[in-house]
Structure 1
Amino acid sequence: MTLNLFQHYSKIQEIHPLVHHITNTVTINDCANATLALGGRPVMADSPKETAEMAKNASSLVINIGTLTEDAILAMKEAGRSANHHGVPVIFDPVGIGATAFRKETGFDLLDAIHPSIICGNMSEMKTLAGLESKSRGVDSGDSMDDADRLAKELAKKYETVMAITGPIDVVSDGERTVKLKNGHERLADVTGTGCMTNSLIATYAGAGNTPFESAILGILTMGICGEKANEWSSKVNEGIGTFKVRLFDAFSLLSEEDFSRSVIEYV
């Protein structure tokens, strides 16, 4: 597979896709700003009375189960069904799906009601989706990435979607093609919401007409590359994690063709 990364990124600057989020209250502002910095147009409508209509008119939809309420669950179902009906790509973020019985039941119920184009989460979350025992600690992953490529491929076939597993080495599979992505920096784990923002980046690429497989790769690479750049900028003057986060958003907004040449992609 040949992937002209900058060409796919450039589609965002031409289209400025409308990315509808039904996401968690912890990271909603960061997700909106990450989308905006990349060139998309975020909308965060979450009332069940309007989410179906909003999803119909959107370029892509993010469903994130980080902070569940009864209204949020109804809104997700309404939006997801509408997006499926109108051909709008859906990105599902199963945040902490194994942390509680309620969260697990809700996550699987949503997957019964909605067909995502892409499911992206950490190894603990993916093990829960596979019915395996996980070492989940809330929304964080306590699981190693051993066999992540095999698990991603199996889950992609099971759910008939693109699976993306994030970690020290990220994995993306559509069931036939599988890649490992090796960009990023450990400081990204010190900023709350980088996983949520990654799904916003993925959705922005998907909303610009890139395929689900391309979009998952591009969104994850963008977070990884921008994390590397943010660390380089902030470490020069020994800046802390707050400035690193600001630099991360700077990197989202200043992506260049040269930046994409840093991509490390291994085809499995």
Structure 2
Amino acid sequence: MNESIIQEVRELTPLIHHLTNQVVVNFSANGLLSFGAAPVMAKAEEEAADMASNADGILLNIGTLTADELPAMTHAGQAANEKGIPVLLDPVGVAATPFRTKAVKNILDEVQPTVIKGNAGELAHLVEIPWETKGVESVGDGNVDEIALKVAETYQTAAVVTGKTDVICIEGEILYNQTGHSLLGKITGAGCLLGSVITACLSTNNPIKHQVLTAIEFYGLAAEYAAKRPDVNGPGTFLPHFIDALSFDPAELERQ
């Protein structure tokens, strides 16, 4: 973990433009504020490109995507590409329906993502690797390294495959992260907020490998720290401690 990346986020408070799903808007906003960045939620087609042009990072998350929202995502992504602003694509549940599959294809035809992040089932679907999914969840198993590498090569991006062990492929190099806690799988939007935190780190002036690894490792450590609080009895009591932990210094989390 490169702690200076987190310090830079907190010093500069980058503006992260979210075109995200309605289920997680509040959680993503509060979690990102705790981490040290500034969220904005703007999905109107009429303002998406303008908002993106003034942001420091763009998050495209299709969790509750509607046909009316798709042009806004495309316009925001294109505006970001034109200005060199990082874009993270989270293809939530892309394998669940033909509508989602086509929508993500449309986005990828028009926008160059800096990072594509998702579970194994989602990213496997993007590169036509067979994988079992259930709704927006990945329930299959197989060679996750292969998925990460193929997504990165196919879309010329960094690929993050989340799971018990997170697998990251950046410029042909496979990296792993094992921080985290099972309680993250029991709260809505944990993966979505991770996308926000990665996007904030992408806004810093550091190599992308360090940006992505730092965000993911820190996020997992925050979850581990929160889960060990003596009054945490399950997902409901875990959640506020996790939001708190996202604001802590890495050294404090590592002392747990």
TM-score, with structure 1 as normaliser? 0.91
Paired positions, count: 256
Query: Partner of 2:227 in structure 1?
Result: 231
One-letter identity of the residue aligned with 2:32 = T
CA offset at residue 213 of structure 1? 2.7
> Does structure 1 conserve the Cα–Cα contact (< 8 Å) formed by 2:148 and 2:167?
yes
Structure 2 residue 6 is the aligned partner of structure 1 residue 12: no
Unaligned runs of 5+ in 1: 263-268
CA RMSD of aligned residues (A): 1.5
One-letter identity of the residue aligned with 1:84 = N
TM-score, with structure 2 as normaliser? 0.95
Query: Partner of 1:113 in structure 2?
Result: 110
CA offset at residue 137 of structure 1? 1.0
Query: Partner of 1:101 in structure 2?
Result: 98
Query: Partner of 1:253 in structure 2?
Result: 247
> Does structure 2 conserve the Cα–Cα contact (< 8 Å) formed by 1:6 and 1:260?
no
> Does structure 1 conserve the Cα–Cα contact (< 8 Å) formed by 2:204 and 2:211?
no
| Runs of 4+ that moved beyond 6 A | none
- Structure-2 separation of matches of 1:257 and 1:213: 20
> Does structure 2 conserve the Cα–Cα contact (< 8 Å) formed by 1:117 and 1:212?
no
- Structure-2 separation of matches of 1:224 and 1:58: 26
- Choose 26-35 or 114-123, whichever is displaced more: 26-35
- Structure-2 separation of matches of 1:238 and 1:19: 30
- Structure-2 separation of matches of 1:199 and 1:121: 9
Give per-residue Cα distances to partners, 1:91-130, cap 9 Å, x unaligned.
0000000000111111111111100000000000011011
Give per-residue Cα distances to partners, 1:45-97, cap 9 Å, x unaligned.
11110010110110000000001112210110110000000100000000000
Percent of pairs with identical residues: 35
Give per-residue Cα distances to partners, 1:128-172, cap 9 Å, x unaligned.
01112221111111122x321232122211111100000000011
Task: Give the 3-state SS of the residue equivalent to 1:50 in structure 2.
Answer: helix
- Residue from 170, 173, 183 that aligns with 1:177: 173
Check 1:238–1:257 CA distance in 2 against 1; reply closer, same or farther (3 A cut): closer
> Does structure 1 conserve the Cα–Cα contact (< 8 Å) formed by 2:129 and 2:147?
no
> Does structure 2 conserve the Cα–Cα contact (< 8 Å) formed by 1:18 and 1:59?
yes
- Structure-2 separation of matches of 1:238 and 1:95: 28
CA offset at residue 258 of structure 1? 4.4
Structure 2 residue 149 is the aligned partner of structure 1 residue 153: yes
- Residue from 12, 19, 26 that aligns with 1:22: 19
One-letter identity of the residue aligned with 1:26 = V
Query: Partner of 2:236 in structure 1?
Result: 242
- Structure-2 separation of matches of 1:162 and 1:198: 15
- Structure-2 separation of matches of 1:99 and 1:221: 29
Give per-residue Cα distances to partners, 1:166-209, cap 9 Å, x unaligned.
00000111132211101111111001110000000001111233
> Does structure 2 conserve the Cα–Cα contact (< 8 Å) formed by 1:127 and 1:133?
yes
- Structure-1 separation of matches of 2:125 and 2:26: 28
- Structure-2 separation of matches of 1:255 and 1:242: 24
